Amino acid sequence: MQTKKILVVALYCALMTVGAYIRFPLPPVPITLQTMFVLMLGLTTSWSVSLETMVLYLFLGAIGLPVFTGGGGLGALLGPTGGFLFGMAVAAPIISLIAMRPNRRGLGWDILAVVVGEMVIYAIGISYLKYQRSMEWGTAFKAGMLPFLPGDALKATVAILLAKAFRGRIEEFSSTR
């Protein structure tokens, strides 16, 4: 992996870590800025860089580094937020696949990418939360999605605006050419 690409991966891992600690505690899943940086990652890098970043981020947390909102370690991945973390890892490269193709540039594609990404995060996160906490589907939706919708809409808007501002520079740094 070339040095500039490593810097982009490290930058996004650091941003997601900081975002995990900017939180509003809401049981069982807190509101954080982590999602905003995951959306930006997908909007500004290739699917492979997005995937590599998310795999590294989950690995760092799994080995015990305190990169998640609940700290680090396998317990954090297996806790109520684990499904959302895995959902982010799946969503980031999907967002990239939608938004980063040369023939798919523009606000409409960015919005579509972010909406699909959020749906992936919610689908995996809520499913896991339901299983992990033995909840009914309705309870899982109320606990894992409804309180987050307004904030996620705001974070998605900010991510799209920031991605538009920084996309060119980040693409330049993360390209493998």
Residue ranges and CATH numbers for the domains of the chain are 3-174 (1.10.1760.20)
Task: Kindly report, residue by residue over 109-147, the tens digit of the pLDDT.
Answer: 999 999 999 999 999 999 999 999 999 999 999 999 998
pTM above 0.95, yes or no: no
* Amino acid (one-letter) located at 89: A
b/e map 4-26, b = 16+ CB within 10 Å:
ebeebbebbbebbbebbeeeeee
What is the pLDDT, as a whole number, of residue 175? 62
Q: Are 125 and 83 in contact (CB under 8 A)?
A: yes
Q: Quote the radius of gyration of the chain (alpha carbons, Å).
A: 15
Q: Which residue has the higher pLDDT, 97 or 104?
A: 97
Q: Flag whether pLDDT at 174 surpasses 70.
A: no
Question: What pLDDT is stored for residue 176 in this prediction?
Answer: 52
Looking at residue 54, its pLDDT comes to: 98
